[in-house]
Amino acid sequence: MGLLHRRSLTIILSMWILWLPNLKAQPPGSYSTAQKNLDAILQDYAYRAFVNPRTGIPFDGSVPSNLTGITISAMRLRSGSLRSRGVKTYKEFEIPKGVIVQPYVERLVLVYQNLANFSASYYSISGYTQLAPVLGLLAYDASNLSATNLPELFINASKQPISIRFQKIDSVPDGSVAMCAWFDLQGGVNFSHVESDNTCLTSQQGHFSIVANFTAAPPPQRKGEKKSSSKTWIIVGSVVGGLALILLLVLVAICIGRYMRNKKMKRMERAAEVGEALNMTSIGNVRAPSAMSTRTQPMIEHDYIP
């Protein structure tokens, strides 16, 4: 392939890369304001349950009337005790030894949430149905049990994972697969396999549920779902159109290359014709020099004739 062809293909590939739609993965979503506000309210009401607080004992709290159905509980612990002993049973959670709290606090409170009938309102996943209520486990500083709007502490199970055993889940739709869903505090959703006895595992705090996808029997398409289908067709059309554009540009480059070669050959022929001393004649598709039709006549060197 000539230099012209290589340059043409380089230009085409550059144009193709710039023209393609951006298909990068979307960044993780943000923890919504509604979710943050709900956690703040539940933390406030859970702390109110500490009338006569005792370390290591769960205290069930009450929620405001507009959140009836949600259950909460609070347990105060020493950070050192949590790391060395863990918590054998805290509602549906089993916390092993080796849990590290960051930043370090002398005492912390583990707030338990069961969102019950509010689960789908705050933690729905497009394309999935919830088989179990959303359960939350969040850690807060226990130095001031009257404080509100506290930031969550970071807890990490450094040895064995924290287990969540869901007491009751709905039946899995035919053809679907049940999965554990972990909603972290950055707005991300993480999936993992369901262990035996409807148990999910995690190494950090957050909100948890068991979900199933709609692959077996998808629900009727809604208006909002048409946008997703339209985006798919747009991407397919973009790829097909891009391939057609590449093919067209390659053909144009080939035609340009042939035109430039023919033009160069004609220029060389004209230059050769200007400098030639002999007449040129065409024999088929080849031009060749030809001799003059009249040859030089012989001449007598001396006028003397014997």
CATH of the domain at 172: 2.60.220
Q: Are residues 264 and 126 in the same domain?
A: no
Q: Are residues 185 and 243 in the same domain?
A: no
3-state DSSP assignment of residue 130: strand
Question: Torsion angle of alpha carbons 172, 32, 138, 100, nearest 10°?
Answer: 100
CA distance 306 to 304: 6
- pTM more than 0.85: no
- Is 8 contained in some domain? no
Nearest to 138 by CA among 150, 126, 130, 121: 150
Q: Are residues 175 and 235 in the same domain?
A: no
To the nearest 5 percent, what fractions of the chain are helix, strand and coil?
Answer: 35, 30, 40
Total number of domains constituting the chain: 2
Domain of residue 242 covers 224-273
pLDDT of the chain, 306 residues: tens digit per residue: 454 444 454 444 444 333 333 333 333 345 688 999 999 999 999 999 998 889 999 999 999 999 999 999 999 999 999 999 999 999 999 999 999 999 999 999 999 999 999 999 999 999 999 999 999 999 999 999 999 999 999 999 999 999 999 998 999 998 899 999 999 998 899 999 999 999 999 999 999 999 999 764 444 455 554 555 566 777 877 778 888 888 888 888 888 888 888 887 777 777 666 654 556 666 666 566 665 555 556 565 555 555
Q: Are residues 187 and 247 in the same domain?
A: no
Q: Are residues 174 and 238 in the same domain?
A: no
**CA 93-94-100 angle, 5° bins:** 105
Residues 6+ apart with CB under 8 A from 73: 46, 49, 58, 59, 60, 61, 90, 91, 111, 112
Cβ–Cβ under 8 Å, residues 114 and 46:
no
Q: How far apart are the first and last CA of the chain?
A: 75
Please report the pLDDT score of residue 82 as a whole number: 95
Nearest to 205 by CA among 113, 72, 81, 89: 113
